[in-house]
Amino acid sequence: MRIAVAGGTGVVGRHVVEVARERGHDVVVLSRSEGVDLTTGAGLAERLARVDAVIDTANQAAQKRVDSEAFFGGVTRTLLDAEAAAGVRHHVVLSIVGIDDVDSGYYAGKRLQERLVAEGPVPWSVLRATQFHEFAEQALHFMRVGPFSLVPRMLSQPVAAREVAEALMALAEGEPAGRAPELAGPERLQVVDLARRVARGRRVVPVRVPGAAGRAMRSGALLPQSDGPRGTLTFDAWLAGR
């Protein structure tokens, strides 16, 4: 198969590229470094020639609703239009467990993305996954005051990015599945505790995100609500192997 990976240089995208090549697929990376602008579509038509499936892992950590919807909505519309014109047979997108129950600006963009894919012209599959193990380090940069990192109190079930990539590839290799079963990691853990383990000298200060979104994050809204596939790589094993 010829597979294009949007965001192929990101946290999950680079693993998708690696897994696809290991499985013998012809891989096309859709990123600025490869001459593709996913927001404008520049360079996209040429890169989608003869592509069978597109896996979208493109991301932007916009916290304001207007910015998140502009990014995810714009990229998704651009991709779907170009895929339809190129005759791409399958659009696979990575999403996040719990976005219906946590009303944040970032998740509003992901909800829009899912809706556009479901209503779009290309047969599709959506994989919702929990936060990656790398999220603990990312959380250190959300709010920084001098040597302090303010990390939100939230319960998570983190999964290895490599295992997410393998699940995305399995979907791309099959028939369009619509909403796939949610993927999560093997353990339920507090993000604050994980952040402390990768803090590298920074001091982690737990904070309670205000409002309904914060309550939902603390109570487990970002955990899978039904049975589904579970990763096997624990946070401890991931950290030891870095």
Please tell me whether residue 91 adopts helix, strand or coil conformation. Answer: strand
Q: What is the pLDDT of residues 68-79, one digit of tens each?
A: 999 999 999 999
What percent of the chain shows pLDDT beyond 90?
86
DSSP state of 5: E
Instruction: Answer yes or no: pTM beyond 0.85.
Output: yes
Q: What is the pLDDT of residues 164-206, one digit of tens each?
A: 999 999 999 999 999 999 999 999 999 999 999 999 889 999 9
A 10 A CB-CB count for 49 gives 11
Instruction: Give residues with Cβ within 8 angstroms of 238, minimum separation 6.
Output: 133, 160
Beta bridge mates, 29: 5
Tally of domains within the chain: 1
At 31, is the pLDDT very low, low, confident or very high (cuts 50, 70, 90)? very high
Please report the pLDDT score of residue 225 as a whole number.
86
Which domain, by its residues, includes 100? 2-240
Is the pLDDT reported for residue 63 higher than 90? Answer: no
Q: How many CA atoms lie within 13 A of 194 on its CB side?
A: 28
- Number of helices and strands (H, E) in the chain? 9, 11
Give the whole-angstrom CA distance, residue 79 versus residue 41.
8
Domain at 90, CATH number: 3.40.50.720
Residue 53 tokens read as: 């499936």
Please tell me whether residue 122 adopts helix, strand or coil conformation. Answer: coil
Please report the pLDDT score of residue 179 as a whole number.
96
Which of 180, 58, 41, 165 lies closest to 110 in space, CA to CA? 58
Is the pLDDT reported for residue 37 higher than 90? Answer: yes
Give the whole-angstrom CA distance, residue 12 versus residue 95.
12
